[in-house]
Chain A
Amino acid sequence: MKQLILALALLGALTGSLLLLGRAVDGLTGPMTDDLTRAAAAAREEDWETAQTLLGRAAETWEAADGWLRLSESHQTVSDVAALLDEALVYAGAREPAPCRAAVGRTVRALTALRAAEQVSLGTVF
């Protein structure tokens, strides 16, 4: 019985921590996606100051989370998002709206995929 309780407790702890991880990823990518959407809109209106500020904030947030993200997510995905954010920042600095919006769009798609992968749904399970 002790073995059963221990196994169930460990399973519970695993499930709980993975659900918490899902929430943490959601909490990270949600505000970032909002910032990036606003940055894309600012780029469209050629408000480069706002676009750069929002992209810079998103890049800082991502960099700050890099450590724990690499514990749970594919290292390639984490690096890809960082590289896309850098790319978007470079285009924003160069005031090129189309490539900037394209880079932001790719970043948002990567973040959405990452967020979806951590959520329990029929789509992710099957």
Chain B
Amino acid sequence: MIIAVLRAAILYLLVIAGLRLMGKRQIGELEPPELVLSLLIADLAAVPMQDFGIPLLMGVTPILTLLCLSSVLSVLTVKSLRFRALLCGRPSVVVAEGKVQAAELRKNRFTLDELMEELRTAGFTDLSAVKYAVLETTGRVSVLPYARDTPPTAGQLGLDPKGPELPVTVISDGRVVDRNLKLLGLGRGWLEKELKARGAASAQGVYLLTVDRRGHVYYLPREEKP
């Protein structure tokens, strides 16, 4: 049985490494080559994981081959627009100037119901508010509404509000993230003062503490166990 554990661990780590190489996309956002890779990898890993009569290398070799090919294809798609179009397809404009492009829908085997569903998901229940809708290569629909149906921006209203600053985690679950402290140009001395001011004896009593560039501190103490 220990063989099952070892094989499962090896293949699991290999599949994770493979999916990690694909980047941070979600399943619904996968391009065709990535989707194929994730489907195949899972299947290839499952067989030698269960059947001990099959050498582990028979599972590992095709997985490594697929990962290499996937890397080669991804580099080629970055380098060549034509290759990218061939492999991943091109985005299709399915609504242009407020008119549904039936031919484009047919070409992509995308029904009107599916288009309406995607528009509703994007927050548009009324087709007359949509100026452009683009069916992306991932299968998602991007929507560009008419200006009259878009809320005005601060810039359009002539306002100049202060932009938000990115809060950086300094204490996470009782642990001090020294790298982030250094990033903010702060030190342990500053942190101790802050903790003292908030009545915390040490970092271990803090669940979360974030600081932004303006020095705004968000402090969340650890909840006491009942």
A11 in contact with B69 (CB, 8 Å) = yes
B52 in contact with A75 (CB, 8 Å) = yes
Residues of A in contact with B, size category: 10 to 19
Residues of B in contact with A, size category: 10 to 19
Given A1-B75, A3-B75, A14-B61, are A74 and B68 neighbors across the interface (CB < 8 Å)?
A: no
- Quick check: is A121 within 8 A (CB to CB) of the other chain? no
- The docked-state distance in angstroms from the alpha carbon of A4 to that of B73 is 9
- Quick check: is A98 within 8 A (CB to CB) of the other chain? no
B75 in contact with A74 (CB, 8 Å) = no
**Majority SS of interface residues in chain B?**
helix
Interface residue stretch chosen among A30-38, A41-49, A50-58, A65-73: A65-73
Within 8 A of B (CB), among A73-124: 73-76
- Mark interface residues in A7-19 (1 if CB within 8 Å of B CB, else 0): 1101100100010
What are 9 residue pairs bridging A and B, where the CB atoms are less than 8 Å apart in the complex?
A1-B75, A7-B68, A8-B68, A11-B68, A14-B68, A71-B55, A71-B57, A74-B55, A75-B54
Q: Which residues of A contact B (CB under 8 A)?
A: 1, 3-4, 6-8, 10-11, 14, 18, 70-76
